[in-house]
Structure 1
Amino acid sequence: MLFWIVAALLTLAASLAVMLPLSGRKPRADVGQDHDIEVYRDQLSELDRDAGRGLIGKTEAEEARAEIGRRILKLAGTRDGEAKTGGSSLARMVGAAAVLAVPIVSWGLYATLGSPLLPGQPLSARLQTDPAENTMAELVARAEGHLSSNPEDGRGWDVLAPIYLRMGRFADSVAAYRNAIRLLGESGDRLAGLGEAIANAAGGIVTAEAQETFRKAAAIDPNNSKSRFYLATALAQEGRMQDAASAWQLMLADLQADSPWRVPVQEAIAEAGRRIAAAERPAAPGPSADEVDAAASMSQADRTAMIEQMVNGLDAKLRQNPLDPEGWMRLVRSYVVLGKTDEAREALGRGLQALGGGSEDGKRLSALATSLGLSSTE
């Protein structure tokens, strides 16, 4: 009832705002205009007297008389126009009728064609309607309401998990996939979806947990495109760009012509080719046969010293040219192999600072560090 009262008041206010200017009359200025005309007539009489006494020339007198006459005619025309405008009562009546007709006709049509008595529908009521009439958010809310009452419905979790993934709700997607796997069992698609959700929740990094999940998916379904793609991505993030490119090439050869994975794989191969080309540098001369024989005959301590010297040389080169992602990966891996964990963490920090922790190269370096047992936050 309150709605109709407010609507009626608003309609009345809008109608009055339009009708009032139509019903009013412009204030007449007849009294002032009559006074001005009388003044001009006095000026004409004064002009005639001056001309008769010879105080003004004949030509000047005619010009002055003409000017005064034009002013009198102008005032008379203005008064006539205002009289015509003010007297157009028919036009005012037509305008008022048109303004009143708009709310009357619109309210009548709504009462006939609309549903003025239909109550508002809260979300819970809308969720009871035909699912085809719901939006995506309402469908998700419907599914969540169902699963809150039926948490052991594996099929419901299986349907909701990829929807969460597409919506960017990665943590919810991980939980939904885990529930689906717990209730329905492992499958290549469910495990691959779980791995994708884990990787996205980690900011796009294929973590060790995600890799293990993708390997399980590939073991169940060797042709699962999603697991193959992300396992190759993990190789690229570890700095094994050539291995990643080879894995993507093999995957591309197995894909159908209409597979939706063809474009992402082709783009990944192209990006890997650019990275490989950028990482290629003029190779230093390899060791001679005599140097190889000499290294083979070295004691363990001498060989370790030689390796450390090479690592130190790489460290020095990266200090001069820090924008070398492949070099940072080799340096971190080398320090870990030598058992120098502190130096590996220090090199990791310098590499992330140089490459940018949020960049693609920085993410790859962080992924490598994680796989080696280092943490990029230490």
Structure 2
Amino acid sequence: MVFWFVAALLTLGASLAVLLPLASRPKSEFADNSHDIEVYRDQLAELDRDAARGLIRPEDAEQARAEIARRIIRAGGDAPSAKTQSLPLIGRSLGAVAVLAVPLVSWGLYAAIGSPDLPSQPLQERLAQNPSESSVDELIARAEGHLAANPQDGRGWDVLAPIYSRLGRFDEAVTAYRNAIRLQGSTAIREAGLGEALTNAGGGVVSAEAQRAFEQALILDKDQPKAKFYLATALVQDGKPAEAIKAWEAMLAALPNDSPWKEPVGQALAEMKNRIAASSGDTGAPGPTADDIDAAASMAPADRNAMIETMVAGLDEKLRQNPNDPEGWMRLVRSYVVLGRTDEARAALDRGLAALGATSDDGRKFAEFATTLGLSATE
């Protein structure tokens, strides 16, 4: 009943908005111009007086009389015909009939084929309907509403976390995985999922927290593929491409043929080998890796320092000639940090960001890597 009452009011308002202008009588084209006619008649009388006194030539007087007569006719000398008066009335009648017919016809059709008695279905009721009939957004909204009322439901966070990751909502996925681990306990899948969400939220850089999550996943399941893949990626970021290649090769050999990880591992392996092959023809020393610096620890201090200085200087010179080498910049910065030359490490960081572009993907990964060493750009 309320629906019909509101619909009637709306229909009445819309109909009146159209009918009122139609009901008003249009202004006559032959308005009352009696004042103008009286003026023109006075002009005729004055013209006759001037002509009688000889002030105006007869031919000029005739032309003036003709012009004043035309003005009198235009001002309303002729009455409108019956046909002219009847056209606006016919048009208004047809318009009124059309305006009234539209709501009557539409109401009749709705009463015949519509569902006026169907109750409204607000958001909460839609969320409570059968999940098989709900969209993905409605399912997520339902889960979020449930978790807002029951934040200690670890199972709910566990279900929602991977959905957030698939939708690219990585910050929310990190929160969901942390809650699931806190409430449901640590598992290899949850830890690996947390590490992946942290990595994606950080623009693809495996941060220290993400690395710890992946390492914890391998403690719980030594064959966890996601953790292995991202830890190999972390080796690349740490300036250890050879170790990353070995890790990916071992992983690829151990994966079953139907594993979904075979393709991404193979692609990463091929890309890294191509990058190494492309840089093998560059001049200059390749620069010290972490293993080189660790191996030098057993040498005499003078020999060790000389060896490291030579390699670092060679890497620095190589990067001046070919600055588009993100892994090289990472090795250089790490070498300076290991040597305790923080100012030169920060200067190398600034140079690397300028060369790679601070807003590029390589630049952001380089900056994130530097923060794991306790460095930040000067600007």
Q: Structure 2-normalised TM-score?
A: 0.65
Question: Does 1:172 pair with 2:175?
Answer: yes
Q: Counterpart of 1:115?
A: 116
Q: Counterpart of 1:22?
A: 22
* Residue 175 to residue 95, structure 1, CA distance change in 2 (3 Å): same
Equivalent pairs counted in the alignment come to 353
Shift of 1:337: 4.5
Provide the secondary structure at the position in 1 that maps to 2:160. helix
Question: Does 1:130 pair with 2:130?
Answer: yes
Shift of 1:31: 7.0
Shift of 1:351: 4.1
Question: What code does the residue aligned with 1:114 have?
Answer: S
Contact residue 237 and residue 367 of structure 1 kept, 8 A: no
Shift of 1:319: 11
Q: Distance in 1 between matches of 2:256 and 2:152?
A: 37
CA deviations on 1:309-337 (whole Å, 9 max, x unpaired) are: 43674697599789564444223332454
Q: Counterpart of 2:56?
A: 55
* Residue 26 to residue 362, structure 1, CA distance change in 2 (3 Å): closer
Provide the secondary structure at the position in 1 that maps to 2:80. helix
Question: What code does the residue aligned with 1:220 have?
Answer: D
The percentage of aligned residue pairs carrying the same residue is 42
Q: Counterpart of 1:292?
A: none
Q: Distance in 1 between matches of 2:264 and 2:286?
A: 40
In the TM superposition, 1:31-110 aligns within 5 A as 32-40=32-40, 43=43, 55-58=56-59, 60-61=60-61, 63-76=63-76, 80=80, 84-85=84-85, 88-110=88-110
Contact residue 325 and residue 365 of structure 1 kept, 8 A: yes
Q: Counterpart of 2:239?
A: 239
Q: Distance in 1 between matches of 2:320 and 2:27?
A: 89
Q: Distance in 2 between matches of 1:268 and 1:63?
A: 105
* Residue 165 to residue 94, structure 1, CA distance change in 2 (3 Å): same
Where structure 1 has 5 or more consecutive residues not aligned to the other structure, the ranges are: 287-295
Question: What code does the residue aligned with 1:91 have?
Answer: G
Question: What code does the residue aligned with 2:94 have?
Answer: V
Q: Counterpart of 2:374?
A: 375
Question: What code does the residue aligned with 1:132 have?
Answer: S
Question: Does 1:361 pair with 2:368?
Answer: no
Contact residue 315 and residue 331 of structure 1 kept, 8 A: yes
More displaced, 25-34 or 277-286?
A: 277-286
| C-alpha RMSD of the superposition | 5.3
Partner residue of 1:209 out of 212, 220, 223: 212
* Residue 22 to residue 245, structure 1, CA distance change in 2 (3 Å): farther
Contact residue 206 and residue 234 of structure 1 kept, 8 A: yes
Shift of 1:131: 1.6
Contact residue 235 and residue 243 of structure 1 kept, 8 A: yes
Q: Distance in 2 between matches of 1:74 and 1:48?
A: 22
CA deviations on 1:97-142 (whole Å, 9 max, x unpaired) are: 332333444445445513356145341x222212233232321243
* Residue 85 to residue 366, structure 1, CA distance change in 2 (3 Å): same
* Residue 172 to residue 316, structure 1, CA distance change in 2 (3 Å): closer
Contact residue 28 and residue 82 of structure 1 kept, 8 A: no
Q: Distance in 2 between matches of 1:35 and 1:178?
A: 95
Q: Distance in 2 between matches of 1:69 and 1:49?
A: 17
Question: What code does the residue aligned with 1:88 have?
Answer: P
Contact residue 249 and residue 269 of structure 1 kept, 8 A: no
In the TM superposition, 1:295-374 aligns within 5 A as 300-307=300-307, 309-310=309-310, 313=313, 325-338=326-339, 340=340, 343-344=341-342, 346-354=343-351, 355=353, 359-365=360-366, 368=369, 374=373
Q: Structure 1-normalised TM-score?
A: 0.66
CA deviations on 1:240-261 (whole Å, 9 max, x unpaired) are: 456657877998999989x798
Q: Counterpart of 2:284?
A: 283
Where structure 2 has 5 or more consecutive residues not aligned to the other structure, the ranges are: 288-295
More displaced, 104-113 or 192-201?
A: 104-113
Q: Distance in 1 between matches of 2:158 and 2:285?
A: 55
Q: Distance in 2 between matches of 1:268 and 1:84?
A: 90
Question: What code does the residue aligned with 2:333 have?
Answer: V
* Residue 40 to residue 87, structure 1, CA distance change in 2 (3 Å): farther
Provide the secondary structure at the position in 2 that maps to 1:236. helix
Contact residue 352 and residue 362 of structure 1 kept, 8 A: no
Provide the secondary structure at the position in 1 that maps to 2:233. helix
Shift of 1:47: 5.2
Contact residue 127 and residue 142 of structure 2 kept, 8 A: yes
* Residue 282 to residue 69, structure 1, CA distance change in 2 (3 Å): farther
Shift of 1:174: 1.9
* Residue 116 to residue 85, structure 1, CA distance change in 2 (3 Å): farther
Q: Distance in 1 between matches of 2:180 and 2:11?
A: 55
Provide the secondary structure at the position in 2 that maps to 1:80. coil
Provide the secondary structure at the position in 2 that maps to 1:88. helix
